[in-house]
Each structure stands twice: as C-alpha cells, then as structure tokens.
Structure 1
Amino acid sequence: MIRSALAVTALLSLAACQQGEHARHASTDHKAPAQKDLLARGEYLARTAGCNDCHTPGYAESQGAVDKAQWLVGSPVGFRGPWGTTYPTNLRLKLSTMTETQWLDYSAKLRTRPLMPDFALRDMTLEDRRAIYQFVRSLGPAGQPAPAFIPPGQNPQPPYFDLVLPAAPPVAASATASGS
C-alpha cells in the first residue's frame, strides 16, 4: 500500500514537472511572437510616422533607402527659426538611457521646439509608443549626440535650414479706409 502510494506520488510529481516544463515553453513561445510583432510595429511606425525623415541622415533624400543600421541616429542638420536652432535627437542614444516606463511617461508629455511634431507622438496609443521604444532599443545605441539647441539670435554652423516666415503683407489703403 505504501509502495503504491509512493509510486503514484512519484508519477504525479513527474507529470507535474513535465507539465510545468511544457507551460514554461508555451509561455516563452507565446511571448516571442508578441515581441516580434511589437518590433515589427515599431519599425512600421518609425518608417511611416516620419521619425526617419528627420532623425535619420539622408533618409528623405534617398527616399527611404538607408540601411536600418543607420536609422534614428540624429542629425547634424539644424532647423533655424524664430525659436532658435533645433537638431533632431539621436533617438538610439536617448532611449538607451531610459526604461520603457520612463519613455512612456516622457513621450506622453513631450513638448519640444519645432520642427518636431510632438503632438503626433503624444496622440499615439500606449502600445504604439511601446512599439517605438522596443524597436529603437532593438537597434542598439549608435552614433553621436545631436548638436545642442542654439537660442534665437545666435548663428549656427552649417548645415541648417533657415525657416523664415514672410513679413505680413501691407494693409491696402482702401481696406483701412473702408474699415475692413
């Protein structure tokens, strides 16, 4: 009787171990496609949401024909306007210093100077911002930090785009006379 009980206990223990091992593999197998999907989504968003247009040197000029190893390393090309001169950040270096939680908080509240469409990032879903984070992190840190912001009234070193707003047209004499 005791032998039978021990044998049953041993068989149940062995079955439980095998079931636990199967569950562990099933769990891992389930996460792998989810991570793969998240990375694919992040790559898709970086490609279509315009991230590469500014943050990847030569991307727009080559119509997207830049090796992925060169993506999102920032740019030395500045954008000068009434706000000063801004440079696209090296996202690979920036995100390498942040946890996913920090990125999600940062990207949900992001307020930047032009030309960055921060509103577009803030309006993305949490899952889209997670996907971007995971994709950028998967590329690994690379490149150099982008040049620092230059305040208004200071001249940047080339290359930069000078974004000049035209002066308001003069008010026509007839418009002022009629009270319009």
Structure 2
Amino acid sequence: MNKLVIALAVLLGASAAVATLAAASRNDLVQRGRYVVMIGGCNDCHTPGFALAAGKVPESQWLTGDELGWSGAWGTTYAPNLRLRFATMDLAAFKGYAHAFTARPPMPYWAVNAMSDADLEALYAFVQSLGPAGKEAPAALPPGVAPPGPVVQFPAPPPALAAH
C-alpha cells in the first residue's frame, strides 16, 4: 500500500475519532444542562403543570413558558418561554444576559447571575437541544391590573419587611 493511502486512512480514522469524541462531549454537555434545569427548579415555573404533575411532563413540553400568573405588590409576572428566548441568542449573548439580568418576583434571578460559565454553557446546550416550541407567555402586568387567568397570589409583605 502506498504511503499516501496509509496517511489518508490514518487521517480519516482520526477525523472519525474526533467527531465521535465531539458528539460524546456535546451529549455530556446537554445532559449536564438537563441536570442544571432539574436541580435549578426551572421547570417548576417555566413548564406548564410540572409541579402539579410531580415532574411527570414530557420533555418535549419543558420550558415552554406558562400562562399561570404570579401576582403580588409588583403586579403579575408570567414565566417566559425559555426555548423561544434562547433561540434568539447565541451562547456569548446568553451568558452576558444570564450574568446581568434582573427580573420581577418570583424569579430567583440572583441564582442565575451566580451560575458558572460552565453551568450556563450546559444550560444553553440543553435548551438549544430541545429546539424552539410553544408560544410566548403573556406579558407582565403592572400593579393594579387584574390578570385575566389563574394566578398564584402573594400576600403583601409584613410591615417590618416592607420598610426595607
């Protein structure tokens, strides 16, 4: 066999091995992102019916936002469709957004702000792997505007906490 044919065979074999490693690495990243979603409780608000179904909602429905409102002194908040939101950002834009964004209650945005780049990369990979689905959640409502559908109602804070 001539040396060129052997060299090409070695290169093709190495290329296939690199592709296999890249696919395995990508799968590991997606699975880690799935884990981040689960331990972060993202589905509790961003997946319709997730908490009521004890997490037994098909993954195809995960993170599509919800029409259940979260109402309190701030108005009413709706959990957005993360699959549509992530589809509008590349990884760098998402990481910048995640480290800096703030949100209305009950979103624990400070937990997302504190995520490591590795966790954010995994989260992004997982959500991207799900692909866009669903529709946009309703827009937030200001205080004093009655929500049209079901809500979780938060009472006013006690006077001692309201003063802070």
1:24 equivalent to 2:10? Answer: no
How many equivalent pairs are there? Answer: 160
Note the C-alpha offset of 1:14. 2.1
What SS is found at the alignment partner of 2:44? helix
Q: Alignment partner for residue 96 of structure 2, among 89, 105, 109?
A: 105
Pairs within 5 Å for 1:115-134? 115-134=106-125
Residue 84 (1) aligns with residue 75 (2): yes
Query: Which residue in 2 is equivalent to 1:159?
Result: 150
Task: Specify the code of the residue in structure 1 equivalent to 2:83.
Answer: R
Across the aligned residues of Structure 1 and Structure 2, the Cα RMSD in angstroms comes to 1.5
Q: Taking every aligned residue pair, what percent have the same amino acid on both sides?
A: 41
SS in structure 1 of the partner of residue 122 of structure 2: helix
Cα distance, 1:90 vs. partner? 0.2
Cα separation, partners in 2 of 1:47 and 1:167, compared to 1, 3 Å: closer
Residue 45 (structure 1) aligns with: 36
How far off its partner does 1:68 sit? 0.7
Q: Normalising by structure 1, report the TM-score.
A: 0.84
Correspondence for 1:65: 56
4+ runs deviating over 3 angstroms? none
The alpha carbon displacement at 1:167 in A equals 4.4
Runs of 5+ in structure 2 lacking a partner? none
Instruction: Return the alpha-carbon distance in structure 2 between the equivalents of residues 167 and 132 of structure 1.
Output: 36
Which segment is superposed worse, 55-64 or 156-165? 156-165
Q: For CA contacts below 8 A with separation 6 or more, give which structure has more relative contact order.
A: 2
TM-score calculated relative to the size of structure 2? 0.91
Which of 28, 35, 51 matches 2:26?
Answer: 35
Q: Which runs of 5+ in 1 are unaligned?
A: 1-9, 170-180
1:30-82 deviation per Cα after TM superposition (whole angstroms, max 9, x unaligned)? 11111111111111111121000000011111111111111100000111112
Match for 2:28: what amino acid? Answer: D
